[in-house]
Structure 1
């Protein structure tokens, strides 16, 4: 009888320890995310990947002759009368969003596909757009620009925290189209790759090399 009573506290301690360990394991690994996809469908820039540069008039129309908006096409008559001898007034122009660089994702720890592209926006800023991303969900996923080369296979899983990087935020969703602002002053000539990085386990789910568009 005495032995049975003396063992009871030890049993409760063991149960409590196991319960705390199980709760911590669930928090740390978050296994439910493996089967719980998060779809994101943000509006991306209206760009033509095959056309790295271009301007449009303020009304959104492109020059009819393929030139720069606001110029006078060759062969047209010059103004007469009061307007003769005065240069034509240039129409306001706006720069289209332009694809600066792009690349296709390769799989690392998890199967990953889709396109990453850096877009220069109309106001001169930059943002990273993930087009048709498809990867696994997971705990503490971040989007990084990095100066590390993209390697295939296990050799590329753990390299992106070795060099320079810029974190653009938490991954919004493991599937779909999404955009992330690139902070002003980020050196995009040095940070030439993007990774879906699991901060908790220091591993890349997938990555893409950003090759200049042209």
Structure 2
């Protein structure tokens, strides 16, 4: 204890303590180790199809025709999908590229289970999905679209694809850690037979 007082009594000792405290604070902010023990579960339903009234329903609403059942919506359609594989962290679940009834698109993560981490994003990319360490860093090498922050590290979630995105350019989805430039997990998008 006397030795600690002796070090702190010197000007360089106080500087050393301040540097150590600043380094510890930065390390906690940057790595956020508490997230390894915290899970966030988000369970969203697939956006529902909207019923668009046809001519018969419009006439019925105007009171000019007898009662007619509304047209059934086309509903969401899965265009492509795949299973998530693990990269930097154990990751599992299913990814689907879904066209909604209104023509918009979402990337849907179903039964996602991965580690929580700092600054996780959902990326739609043109990179091939590779097993093991070879696949950890490939997703920022080519074209990619960030669909936003990962809502939760567990559950089922929807991410809106920008309307102007050329979906023919993208072949995979990555759970990307933007802070450390590494994929937690990824899935190749294989065209659906529907």
**Is the TM value for this pair above 0.5?**
yes
Equivalence map 1:157-196=2 (5 Å): 157-196=136-175
Matched, 1:103 2:82: yes
Correspondence for 1:211: 190
Equivalence map 1:1-214=2 (5 Å): 8-45=10-47, 92=71, 94-214=73-193
Distance in 2 (CA, whole Å) between partners of 1:126 and 1:6 is 61
Residue 92 of structure 1 and its aligned partner are, at CA, apart by 4.7
Q: Please, what TM-score do these two structures have when normalized by structure 1?
A: 0.76
1:171-205 alpha-carbon deviations (Å, 9 max, x no partner): 00000010000001211111110000000100000
Structure 1: gaps of 5 or more residues: 48-55, 60-69, 71-90
Distance in 1 (CA, whole Å) between partners of 2:182 and 2:97 is 23
**Residues 1:192 and 1:6: Cα distance change in structure 2 (over 3 Å):** closer
Residue 6 of structure 1 and its aligned partner are, at CA, apart by 9.5
1:34-87 alpha-carbon deviations (Å, 9 max, x no partner): 11111111112579xxxxxxxx9869xxxxxxxxxx9xxxxxxxxxxxxxxxxx
- The alignment yields a C-alpha RMSD, in angstroms, of 2.4
**Residues 1:212 and 1:15: Cα distance change in structure 2 (over 3 Å):** same
Residue 94 of structure 1 and its aligned partner are, at CA, apart by 3.1
**Residues 1:94 and 1:5: Cα distance change in structure 2 (over 3 Å):** closer
Distance in 2 (CA, whole Å) between partners of 1:177 and 1:38 is 11
Residue 95 of structure 1 and its aligned partner are, at CA, apart by 2.2
Paired residues, number:
174
* Structure number with bigger Rg: 1
Residue 110 of structure 1 and its aligned partner are, at CA, apart by 0.5
